[in-house]
Amino acid sequence: LQLPFRVHDDGHDLRAPLAGIVAGLRAARNDVCVFLPVDVPFAGPELVRALGQACEEAAVPQTGPLPGAYARSALAMLERRLAAGELSLRGAVAELATVTVELDPAELVNVNAPEELLQL
């Protein structure tokens, strides 16, 4: 599969968004990274900009920790949580200087199956 970007393996067998965020921040060249879950197909550039611009250590929408912007300055704490098996992103967000950004709910619609997408 040819992609216009590099793919970084998080190096973990566990399925936890925290592992992906840690891997992304480790590979990042920027101070802030925005992470989008694959099941939010309507997230657009305005959402990405709003989260990125609001980020102190983290910026999340009113619905929870993903999509979210996370700063490289938060990496040590996130790595500590990952190593300790504390995989909750909500728990991590509670420990960080986090800004909640009110985003358009239409951009945050969660779609888990093709049939759900067709119904929208």
Domain assignment of residue 110, yes or no = no
Confidence class for position 19, pLDDT limits 50, 70, 90: very high
As for how many domains the chain has, the answer is 1
Q: Coil, helix or strand for 22?
A: helix
Residues 6+ apart with CB under 8 A from 82: 12, 16, 18, 19, 22
pLDDT of residue 120: 80
Confidence class for position 52, pLDDT limits 50, 70, 90: very high
Q: pTM value?
A: 0.91
* CATH number of the domain bearing residue 44: 3.90.550.10
Average pLDDT over residues 15-38: 95
Whether 13 has a pLDDT exceeding 90, the answer reads no
Domain assignment of residue 34, yes or no = yes
pLDDT of residue 9: 84
